[in-house]
Amino acid sequence: MNSLRTEFARRWVVIVVVSFAEPSKLVRYQEQHQWPFAILADPERKAYHAFNLERLSWLQVFSPATLMRYFKLLREGMRRQDYGKDDIYQSGGDFLLDRAGNILFAHRNQDPSDRPSAVTLLKEIDRVTKRKDS
Amino acid sequence: MVGAPFFFVRNRSVITTFLALSSAERRQPVGMQDSLGSTEKIALDDLPLVDLQGNRASLSNLFQEHLLIIFLRHLA
């Protein structure tokens, strides 16, 4: 188990991944990647809507920051896997919740390059849980 | 090409790699964009989520102390 994963577990944080893809696609995705997280499907996007994750505009999806980031990743040898046609305009996000369903923090992607690092997430978890406890 | 997750991120932990897949990382603290607190609340078990077998999944059952939910963009 890598150290970052341990850090999330040490904070009693369980990571769950949600996708709007159909479960059958997610099975193939998980077979490919073997992510050590629970992966759930929300094909109707009701959870996405509940968390106010809207579709991005063309300008957001094709922002200069996104293009630069992907260009860099391609140069590093990244490869794209094909899981069929999907909605590239749907935004994603990261949310920390407590047992009551309160959202302790949220990060809604403003463009495809807008995703916090694991280290940043850990810092935010520490910040909001400290605030909650005080 | 744009919007596609990328694979084989080198020299990163599993979690960092995973976060980089659904989009790239950004060096901006989380929470800056959404000022929260107790104003947003989700009825966890009202969400119609299903597991990979298509069975109804309950977020409440996954909890320890907190739950970090990562909503993906599209798969690629």
A25 touches chain B (CB under 8 A): yes
Q: Is residue B32 part of a domain?
A: no
Task: Look over chain B and give the mean of its residue pLDDT values, rounded to a whole number.
Answer: 69
Q: Note the pLDDT tens digit of each residue in B12-49.
A: 555 655 555 555 444 444 444 444 444 588 998 899 99
B58 touches chain A (CB under 8 A): no
Task: Report how far Cα A115 is from the mean position of its chain's Cα atoms.
Answer: 7
Q: How confident is the model at residue A130 (pLDDT cuts 50, 70, 90)?
A: confident
Percent helix, strand, coil in chain B, to 5, is: 20, 15, 65
Distance from CA of B11 to the nearest CA of A (A): 12
Domain that holds residue B11: 1-26+41-76
Lowest mean pLDDT among A57-71, A110-124, B40-54: A57-71
Give the tokens for residue B59. 């977020």
B41 touches chain A (CB under 8 A): yes
Q: How many domains in chain A?
A: 1
Q: Is residue B69 part of a domain?
A: yes
Distances (CA, A) of A78 to A10, A23, A100, B18, B63: 31, 25, 39, 13, 33
Q: Is residue B35 part of a domain?
A: no
B43 touches chain A (CB under 8 A): yes
CATH classification of the domain holding A78:
3.40.30
Q: Count chain A–chain B contacts defined by CB atoms under 8 A.
A: 281
Task: Look over chain A and give the mean of its residue pLDDT values, rounded to a whole number.
Answer: 87
Q: How confident is the model at residue A106 (pLDDT cuts 50, 70, 90)?
A: very high
Q: Is residue B52 part of a domain?
A: yes
Q: How many domains in chain B?
A: 1
DSSP letter (8 states) at residue B3: T
* Residue in A86, A107, A110 closest to B75 by CB: A86
Q: Is residue B19 part of a domain?
A: yes
| B56-62 average pLDDT score | 91
Distance from CA of A115 to the nearest CA of B (A): 5
Instruction: Scan residues 87-106 of A and list those with Cβ closer than 8 Å to B.
Output: 87-88, 90-106
Domain that holds residue A19: 3-133
